Amino acid sequence: MAKSVIAVYPQIESADGALFAISVDDVESQSKFVSEYSIPYTHLSDTEKKVCKTYAGLNMVGLPKRCTFIIDKQGVIQKVFRDIDVKSHGTQIVDSLNEIKV
């Protein structure tokens, strides 16, 4: 998923979007991942799974479900992606940002 998002990151910024990711991995693991893929956006660590439990939910083995929230400038969630196609997800994000600008 990171690759498709990285590919369109300039378009996300052009749409006046702000992007960050939250993972249950520790800070060191996140740092390695960000470095390895040259990820231009912030990755946050949620090792206690508080954010993931609140927003994304956990699967049957306790791992967080992958999802994306599109939130407008007023803080209102406009769209939630729960079934993510990793190849097209970056484009989906850009399209959603452009839709809420109208």
Neighbours of 34 (CB within 10 A): 16
Q: Is the pLDDT score of 102 beyond 60?
A: no
Residues of the chain with pLDDT > 70, as a percent, come to 97
Q: Work out the pLDDT band at 100, boundaries 50, 70, 90.
A: confident
Residue 37 CA to residue 55 CA, distance in Å, equals 26
The predicted model scores a pTM of: 0.82
* Residue 72 pLDDT grade (very low, low, confident, very high; cuts 50, 70, 90): confident
Q: How many domains does the chain have?
A: 1
Supply the range of the domain harboring residue 96. Answer: 2-101
CATH number at residue 38: 3.40.30.10
Is the backbone of residue 75 left (phi > 0), alpha (psi -120 to 50) or beta? left
